Amino acid sequence: MTSTESALPGPRTGVAVALGLAAAKLLLHLATNLWAGYGIFRDELYYLACADHPAWGYVDQPPLSIALLAVQKATLGAESLFTLRLVPAVAGAAAVLFTVLIAREMGGGRFAQLLAGLAALAAPIQLGYVTVYSMNSLDLALVAAALFLFTRLLRTGDAKLWIGVGLLIGLALLNKVGALWIGAGVAVGLVATRERRWLRTPWPWAAGLLAAAIFAPYLLWNAAHGWPHLEFMEQAMGSKYAGVTRTDFVAGQLLLQGPMALPIWLAGLAWLLVSRRARPFRPLAWVWLTAFAVLLAAGHSKAEYLATAYAAVFGAGGIAWEGWLAGPRSRRLRPVLAFALLAGLLLAPAALPILPVDSYVRWARAMGLQPGTAEGHELAELPQFYADMFGWPEKAEAVAAVWRTLPEEDRSRAAIFTTNYGRAGAIDHFGRELGLPRALSSHNNYWLWGPGDATGEIVVVLGLSREDLSPRFASVERAGTADCELCIPYERDVPIWIARGPLQPLADVWPEIRSYN
């Protein structure tokens, strides 16, 4: 199949809209990074610790985002929030750029591109995803880039683009396993439409093999370590996400993409499915539908898991509305629709830390927003996303205060243990300047890294209770408390213990305390 056999008319405009909106997105997040009114996020502390342990995989994620963070730490450093969050800001801008280019590739004019880009720029989930360092920001950019190339392939029939699609989906998989649903959607889109003709050529098969080859190191790593990621997902769905229902998943699409964007992406999905003009691009509808169906059927899926599938339906929605508002009178409504999407940024404080805490609390009350979490934790004045940006330096300092009370001889053979990767990451990140050794933990990759040379003879423990520790140690002494004002309630008044005289060697206990969730 050659490019001339199925090529459609090319884009009607330049890329000024795409570049302008991407630049606006980038500047928005760079300004927020400079503002930095909130602290480092719990997961960022863990990812920084992972970056110090290069590997082909981790319990809770593939290696790409961690490898990129390791490179950043070695070159730019990661001590300031501005530097740490530079990559997410660029990734967020790239996601907006490719969303606009998808609309352009399908024949959308400037107004269609503007609507698509504004929908992506203002979506609360996309604001939140690129606020902190994680695999999620790269997920948005890589999947949007893959869908852009897939759109161009559908327009031009250029078989060589399959290699780019396979490469990008492979990289997306090496970044986050959820990209599987996007790859599955591409396959379903081919089978369900006239584009199944591609299946008679080697190109989509080669793309699939390329993606699988790129993803293979993570599969091999999992196999070598007893499939920890499968255990992680099973534990997460059965515990912290057990309260998330299918209704939550569906309703969350409205909230996370923003109420103002609902007419855009619903129109885009409908346009892709029924419009004759959209017939060449119909597989893109099946990408969204497949991901939606898989996540809905799985149960306990968080609404955010579908976030990357919206790039194509945002682009198509812009085209649908551009056509509907093409008449002389209806064109007057175009600015109204564009400003309505831009007004979606009124919800930005829910995902972007741009208001001081007191102002945020007043704003949330005025908007009728209650603090939320998908993990079922008790909350106070802040949602979990923001609460998890507070309290980490205080924890390291509280542990250091206890550590300094140990005689020099005891410190040389003591270890620090805590129960979750946020606390362990805080000790590792802030504890270096406080003279603390690396933390041990039973949580996710910290457990996999093991106890090292620690014997457990003396352990400073952050968290747990006397009842948890007494069966394992001859002596357990309460030595301090780690407190914080704005952090999530279960991170407040955390006890610090000095445990001595292990009743079993730490190496023997370690297999019993694994916590993958």
Condensed to tens digits (0 to 9), the pLDDT of residues 20-54 reads 999 999 999 999 887 757 999 999 999 999 999 99
Cα separation, 426 vs 395, whole angstroms: 7
The tokens for 352 are 């972007």
Q: What is the pLDDT of residue 241?
A: 77
Q: Which of 63, 55, 134, 175 is nearest to 448 (CA)?
A: 55
Mean per-residue pLDDT, 315-338: 94
Looking at the predicted structure, is the pLDDT value of residue 2 above 80? no
Condensed to tens digits (0 to 9), the pLDDT of residues 100-110 reads 999 999 999 99
Condensed to tens digits (0 to 9), the pLDDT of residues 161-201 reads 999 999 999 999 999 999 999 999 999 999 999 999 999 99
Q: What is the DSSP letter of 499?
A: E
Distance set, CA 419 to CA 30, 160, 474 (Å): 34, 50, 20
How much of the chain, in percent, has pLDDT values that exceed 70?
A: 97
Mean per-residue pLDDT, 131-140: 96
Mean pLDDT of the chain: 93
> φ, ψ for residue 41 (rounded to 5)?
-85, 150
Condensed to tens digits (0 to 9), the pLDDT of residues 484-509 reads 989 999 999 999 999 999 999 999 99
The tokens for 373 are 């979490």
Looking at the predicted structure, is the pLDDT value of residue 81 above 70? yes
Q: Which amino acid is at 458?
A: I
Spell out the domain ranges in the chain.
3-156+224-350, 357-387, 392-512
How many C-alpha atoms does 40 have within 13 Å on its Cβ side? 24
The tokens for 257 are 């993409």
Q: What is the pLDDT of residue 59?
A: 97
Q: What is the DSSP letter of 242?
A: T
Mean per-residue pLDDT, 275-286: 97
Burial tier of 368 (Cβ tally within 10 Å: 0-12, 13-18, 19+): exposed
Q: Which amino acid is at 350?
A: A
Cα separation, 509 vs 512, whole angstroms: 6
3-state secondary structure 308-319: HHHHHHHHHHHH
Q: 293 falls in which pLDDT band (50, 70, 90)? A: very high
Mean per-residue pLDDT, 418-424: 96
Contacts with 196 (C-beta within 8 Å, 6 or more apart), sequence order: 190
**DSSP-assigned beta bridge partners for residue 496:** 462, 480
Secondary-structure breakdown of the chain: helix, strand, coil percentages, each rounded to the nearest 5: 65, 5, 30
Cα separation, 88 vs 103, whole angstroms: 23
Looking at the predicted structure, is the pLDDT value of residue 3 above 60? no
Q: What is the DSSP letter of 109?
A: -
Looking at the predicted structure, is the pLDDT value of residue 5 above 80? no
Q: 376 falls in which pLDDT band (50, 70, 90)? A: low
Looking at the predicted structure, is the pLDDT value of residue 394 above 80? yes
Looking at the predicted structure, is the pLDDT value of residue 316 above 80? yes
Q: 319 falls in which pLDDT band (50, 70, 90)? A: very high
Q: How far apart are the first and last CA of the chain?
A: 47
Cα separation, 470 vs 497, whole angstroms: 11
Cα separation, 179 vs 241, whole angstroms: 20
Q: What is the pLDDT of residue 375?
A: 59
Mean per-residue pLDDT, 58-85: 93
Q: What H or E segment, with its residue span, contains residue 479?
A: strand 473-482
Burial tier of 376 (Cβ tally within 10 Å: 0-12, 13-18, 19+): exposed
Q: Which of 106, 120, 210 is nearest to 165 (CA)?
A: 210
**DSSP-assigned beta bridge partners for residue 494:** 482
Q: What is the pLDDT of residue 314?
A: 98
Strand order in the sheet with 414-418: 439-441, 414-418, 458-462, 494-502, 473-482
Q: Are 306 and 293 in contact (CB under 8 A)?
A: no
Cα separation, 492 vs 484, whole angstroms: 6
Q: What H or E segment, with its residue span, contains residue 280?
A: none
Cα separation, 349 vs 374, whole angstroms: 18
Condensed to tens digits (0 to 9), the pLDDT of residues 210-265 reads 999 999 999 999 999 999 999 999 888 777 777 789 999 999 999 999 999 999 99
The tokens for 484 are 């914080």
Mean per-residue pLDDT, 432-451: 96
Looking at the predicted structure, is the pLDDT value of residue 345 above 60? yes
